[in-house]
Amino acid sequence: MSHHLFLTQEHEMLRDQVRRFIAEKVHPAADSWEKDGCVPRDILRQMGDLGFLGIRYPEEYGGSAMDTRATAVLAEELGRSTYAGFAITALVHTDMASVHLYNAGTQAQRAEHMPDIIAGRKIVAVAVTEPDAGSDVKSIRTMARRDGDDFVLNGAKMFITNGVHADLYCVAAKTDTQGPASQSVTIFLVEKGTPGFSVSRALDKHGWCSSDTAELSFQECRIPAENILGQEGKGFYSIMKNFQNERIVLGAMAMGEAQAALDLTLDYVKTRQAFGAPLWSKEAIRQRLSMLSARVTAARQLVYATAARDAAGEDVVKEVSMLKALCGELVNDVMYDCVQFHGGTGYMRGSAIERMARDARVQSIGGGATEVMLEEVAKRL
């Protein structure tokens, strides 16, 4: 489907390339990834070889130096794969975790890690969420106290995507207990195997089953001060800044999921016979699917318009908050009706639409819950 108003031929070439990769490498194998609870590292390295893990990063590190619109294309096509656990594994690496290293890291930090990140040789996770702090970043409790040339981390992180198998973790911790919360958060680069850092447990989720998700523990974990990403005490602003990119990614991914669900359901209702005719002959069904298709088309255009404005350097906080709320709710509306129109088949484990409905549920929660997003919109109305 063309988005020529916002995309160039280069963007559409990327779309075609991602779509071919999914057809050849993902669809034949992804059911086993769902059972294993993770995406094989070899698949991520293959994505690196094709340039999918560095589309926004400079060529000097092996990237393609494209823009926000390319991110939206990648996210939408990964969402269309029907395996959202696979999609989020890659997208956390490319657009939610490694961006902290690239945006705030020193030249030395970038030179050491970015080529391996873009090639898929090192996988990255971002550790902000805690048992008692999700969208409210100021409430994190993980602490980092200064001790000579080091910081010592203590605390726990929860619901960390790529948390089990990552090599590098961008960890948010408070370095000041006295000042305002917005001036107290610092992001540290923590490598797997650092003494005092451990994966407490892998988490069993309702959906996104091929995405490894973990609870992390830091107990007297000593980190060199040179591992700070950016400035001490400025991590809150880095997290807030990248939320805009993350939410565009999640909105695009959700619309890819929604379109794939509609496509599957249209195929099903046009062939499934009931009362002597295809389900498509029922006015209620075809009108409902038509309205859902209209809403998805409109929401997708908002995603790409916002991505284009973001690429142009405009302030799009309101629009990003809108699209995150809209797309997160809409994908669940789509899945509800698509399961309904599949009948008993849609409720059976092993059917694509059942898996997709489970996967979609988190889209109104993760990356900024709908209610939080709507408050951000309300502040700007």
Catalytic residues: 246
CB 193 within 8 A of CB 181: no
Residue 81 DSSP one-character state:
T
Closest CA to 175 of 236, 263, 240: 236
Q: What's the rounded Cα separation, in Å, for the pair 323 and 364? A: 11
Residue 173 makes CB contacts below 8 A (sequence gap 6+) with 140, 142, 143, 144, 151, 153, 155, 185, 186, 188, 218
- With vertex at residue 152, the alpha carbon angle to CA 149 and CA 154, rounded to the nearest 5 degrees, is 170
Q: What's the rounded Cα separation, in Å, for the pair 221 and 230? A: 20
Residue 186 makes CB contacts below 8 A (sequence gap 6+) with 144, 151, 172, 173, 174, 175, 228, 232, 233, 234, 235
